[in-house]
Structure 1
Amino acid sequence: MPRKILAVCLGNICRSPAAEAVLRALLPDDEIDSAGTSNWHVGEPPHPPMIRAARARGYDLAPLRARQFASADFARFDLILAMDARNLSDIEALRPAGNTTPVRLFTDYAPDTGADQVPDPYYTGDYDGALDLIEAAARGLARQPD
């Protein structure tokens, strides 16, 4: 049965759209989406440097548009993946009472990297490093049983 997976970062212009594209490539039968915890970039395309870095690896982020995470996403998705602890905390703050949808750090699926988060390349400038972690976590998630 196809899973419904949501990747979430702060602005939905770097990490989570990249995770969406990578997960779609690895899990073509699953429904994958992305969102941001902030409303800063709603309706905007991903950040151009992330589009270029992803394109160099065969992922097309250009058609994606940012949207804000909403409490309704808990009912729509089977798994919510946060890019860092702050995103996870912001997501959990919107959890409806009684909802049990798992929210996990994306890097939980890449324990061999030693990373506890996917650093935000909007601030670090390390788009390739973020993609390395995203690809490692996506491969780890793809190995998980449904």
Structure 2
Amino acid sequence: MYERILTVCTGNLCRSPLAEALLRLQLARDGRHDAQVRSAGLRAQPGKTVDDTMLFIARAQPALLRELEAHRAQPVNGTLLWWADLILVMEPGQAREVAKLDPMARGKVHLLGELTQARSIGDPYLRHESVYRETWQAVEAAVAAWRGPINQPG
């Protein structure tokens, strides 16, 4: 059972905050109030807010929208990598970058999409709204696929 989950993408503006929010809400529904979820970006600018298009899409889900509105970007650092017992990245290159930052984190790193057909979840940043929606669906499906492994005792 994972208790400290870190989601990682590039800028910490779209994919990782969405995964963080979805995981946090899913864990709360599962009664996992002991679990913590954070997100960070490999090239994040501290304090930036979630991308406006992502917020626009989230408006249909008020609880999710509140989570995303409260988010502020932060860069990946050694403390976060040490803290996490599961690190979910969006693309294979990000897994390699995390391993370079902290070789001890290598065994904790997984692709968010590895349990789905998506595997790699591309960055929608500054692209058409339809790309954001596709990314949203891929992240949502991947988070749902991780529900069992995250809650599995062991």
**TM > 0.5 fold call:** yes
Amino acid at match of 2:11: G
Shift of 1:55: 2.8
Gapped runs of 5+ residues in structure 1?
none
1:2-59 deviation digits (Å, cap 9, x = unpaired): 61100000000000000011101111222011000013x3111101101111232441
Q: Which residue of 1 aligns with 2:122?
A: 119
Q: Which residue of 2 aligns with 1:42?
A: 46
Matched, 1:133 2:146: no
Matched, 1:76 2:83: yes
RMSD: 1.7
Q: Quick one: structure 1 residues 86 and 57, their matched pair in 2 at CA, closer, same or farther if it must change by over 3 Å?
A: farther
Matched, 1:108 2:108: no
Q: Matches of 2:107 and 2:120 in 1, distance apart?
A: 20
Q: Matches of 2:121 and 2:53 in 1, distance apart?
A: 16
Q: Which residue of 2 aligns with 1:63?
A: 70
1:57-95 deviation digits (Å, cap 9, x = unpaired): 441201100000002222201100001122212111111
How many residues were matched structurally? 141
Q: Which residue of 2 aligns with 1:6?
A: 6
Task: Tell me the TM-score normalized by structure 2.
Answer: 0.83
Q: Which residue of 2 aligns with 1:85?
A: 92
Q: Quick one: structure 1 residues 124 and 70, their matched pair in 2 at CA, closer, same or farther if it must change by over 3 Å?
A: same
- Deviation above 6 Å: which 4+ runs of structure 1? none
Q: Matches of 1:34 and 1:77 in 2, distance apart?
A: 10
Higher helix share: 2
8 Å CA contact 2:81–2:102 kept in 1: the answer is yes
Amino acid at match of 1:85: P
Q: Quick one: structure 1 residues 50 and 8, their matched pair in 2 at CA, closer, same or farther if it must change by over 3 Å?
A: same
8 Å CA contact 1:5–1:79 kept in 2: the answer is yes
8 Å CA contact 2:49–2:71 kept in 1: the answer is yes
